[in-house]
Structure 1
Amino acid sequence: MAAFEALTALYTKATSEETSDARSAAAAELASGVEAAGVASIMSMALPAKVMASLGEAKNVAAREGAVLVCHALHTKLGLHFEPYMLLVLPALIERFDDKVKTVANAVDACLSAFVQAVNPYAAATLLPFLFAGMGTISWKTKVGCLKLLGTLAHTAPTQIGQLLPEVVPKVTENMWDTKPEVKQAAKACLGECCTVIHNPDVQPIVPVLISANANPKENVSALDRLMGTTFVSQVDRPTLAIIVPVLGRGLRDRDVQTKRKCCVVVDNMCKLVCDAKDVEPFVDKLLPELKKVEEDVPIPEIRAYGAKAKATLVKAIKDGGGKVPPEYE
């Protein structure tokens, strides 16, 4: 009981001291106390609830900054053992990217950057919804903060982000069209970092072109031309498809029949090298309906033939990889 009271007193000190240095010292002392008492003491003293309450104190800078410093100190001291507790307060911390007081916002940036750099790679899928929620807020500072964290996560958990890229690309692309220049810039940088997980040697040289086409639909045709000129010889996996499919989907919906033809040729060439149905599965809904429309609705027989061939190749890739094709596309 004495230890619990001592830890609670240290938390109060960390969130009420006059200066940032004093708050930081108290936070470090609290982290050492928790380490000595055991990780279970975090819940015994109801730390997550205390942190969220402090972060919500709009008129108390010491409480907000102190709560962030406590989280940072605990993560520094306890490492992976503090991760589950960090997730409990993560939404409240992300909100503070937009804090009106710069020292608080900077403390949040330092705390969350350190957390994401050291996080268990297998936690990537758990973290993404928090980052996506932040990227969808009204606050441009929160958007920029979350985009930077996502870019960092791509280096901390490259394999996991590679598998999650089909979810990541559309969310980041939405922010590329934001009205705020800082958000656009952060989104483009973030997508660039996320695309470092693409290791297909055929596509790697044109990744910047594909990123630019995702940011600016007017560049879609030139990106398609680059894809047309790419000879696919290496296996096409999920991360590679994640950056290519949005460009193809946009091209297949284009009114110009020659653009549709180019997309069909790329799909045909690319899908011959898809070895696992799980890789193409996230994109079936985006490609098959559009290819079927080309096959059935385009008035030019030659283009319809391209559509039918591309659809047949995609269906074969799914079946060969052990996947299921919706009956209407058989």
Structure 2
Amino acid sequence: MEFDAILLLSFGGPEGPEQVRPFLENVTRGRNVPPERLDDVAEHYFHFGGVSPINGINRALIEQLHTQTDLPIYFGNRNWEPYLEDTVIAMRDNGVRRAAVFATSAWGGYSGCTQYTEDIARARAAAGPGAPELVKLRQFFDHPRFVELFADAIAEARGRLPEPLRDQARLVFTAHSIPLAADERHGPQLYSRQVTYASALVAAAAGYESYDQVWQSRSGPPQVPWLEPDIGDHVAALVDRGVPAVIVCPIGFVADHIEVVWDLDNEVAEQAEAAGLPLVRAFSPNDDVRFARLIVDLVDELRQGREPARVAGPNPVPGYGFSVNGAPCSAGCCATTPSAGSR
């Protein structure tokens, strides 16, 4: 399968205070989210001057991609500029015939996978006749470079702890929580099993036999059960147990965007500091050149007809393949009923 371009497809984020509220309205359109909830979330962005880190990280990742491939690279978002529809129209006008689409989520499930295939179908419809064929690359939570990146990030974070605490620090993996009903709908438990499996792979690569898996950034009414334990509750429990230090690895996120820098670097960090608990957070892949190479690896798997590169571990879980033009992948792993989820 040959490609004449790569499209990086992401979530999007505001790049100025005046963009915060319109962006959040885009994200929550049709979900009946109370205005006061949007006001609360908006404050997270205003804390950083109304700028989400995600677009800047993605542009830096694209610069790294340019060093790894000669293919032209395009950038489109679901919820903010550059909008995917506009990008696909530009690709059509530039004569792109078939592009490999890298979505910035490693996971299955609705928000991590299926919603991106829906985005692709909608953008091609907006481009109309002559729209390029868009091939969404496979899920990559067990790719060797993904595992390596997070294992190395854990080692770097460990090195930021005082030396006497390094061997005693508790490793805690965190990912975006979703409602239990949504997790059952997509697999079943496709998303949570993939996260749990990836955590096991990374822990082994980093040399940890014991670790914890928790969740974060839940929203919605409190009577709706979500994946637990929440990281805030878990940190409180670690304090009660007398754990001397913590390393947090945000395995669910490939970029240090707002739910990492606010939820972890502000709320959880402040909670730990108040309790006297030394806590360090491992970096996400962001614009590491190895992450760019991972993207090229996924493209080359299709260009060269190679078997997918995967790290094997105990109790493996499904990792599904590519999809074309917004159609579900052949395994049909992800249902199409909307829910909140990771990205």
Higher relative contact order, chain-length normalized (CA < 8 Å, sep 6+): 2
Q: Which has the larger radius of gyration?
A: 1
Q: Which has the higher strand share?
A: 2
Aligning the two structures, in what range does the TM-score lie when normalised by the shorter sequence?
under 0.3
Q: TM-score, normalised by structure 2?
A: 0.27
TM-score by length of 1: 0.28
